[in-house]
Amino acid sequence: MQILALEDIAVETESGERRETVRNRSSTYINNENGKFTVYLQSNYFNDPQELTLMIGAVQAVPKGEDFIEVDFGTQEVITKPDYLDWDISVEGQSLKTAAKKWDGSARHMFFTTAQKADGTELEYAGGSFSDDDEYLYATETFKNYDGKAKIKIDYFYNPIGENIEMKIPLK
């Protein structure tokens, strides 16, 4: 499986003090080249616990090698997408427009922000917007001017392979 997202990450000391992801910024990043995540958590520099408990609310993943779609900005079409991906996706100009049926606890999401041109170079992400209604999540994600085929990574898909994970980490 290819991990796409780690949700609700926190660490807790043996005294019950909890440190969560940093608010008001994107707090979890993935390096698509090596699959490693960087997580930014609140910190208490003056605390010296014996152990920490790492808590992860959910791990979202998809089958390995099926974490992207292919589109053609020249012909304005989605060429391929994985069978599991039941979203409505269209290409309009330099944008991908997505409608995804809501899932339990769903919130607004950006679904596609990392793309590669047919020659292997990066297709720069220009920005996006999102909204929702009672039934669907909507996203419009725009890339810099390009008139060819691109492979676009799926940043998020609701498919929990693990939930409410806790792991003790001894520090001394």
* Beta pairing class for 18-20 and 125-132: unpaired
CA distance 28 to 36: 10
Residue 19 has a pLDDT of 82
Domain edges within the chain = 2-63+159-170, 68-153
Statement: residue 46 has pLDDT above 70 = no
Would you state the structure tokens that stand for residue 101, as one six-digit string? 């049926």
pLDDT digits (tens, 9 = 90+) for 5-19: 888 888 888 888 888
Residue 6 in contact with residue 56, Cβ under 8 Å?
Answer: yes
* DSSP letter (8 states) at residue 25: S
* DSSP letter (8 states) at residue 21: B
Does pTM surpass 0.95?
Answer: no
pLDDT digits (tens, 9 = 90+) for 133-153: 889 999 999 999 999 999 999
Residue 138 has a pLDDT of 93
Residues listed for the chain: 172
Which of 128, 168, 96, 131 shows the shortest CA–CA distance to 26?
A: 128
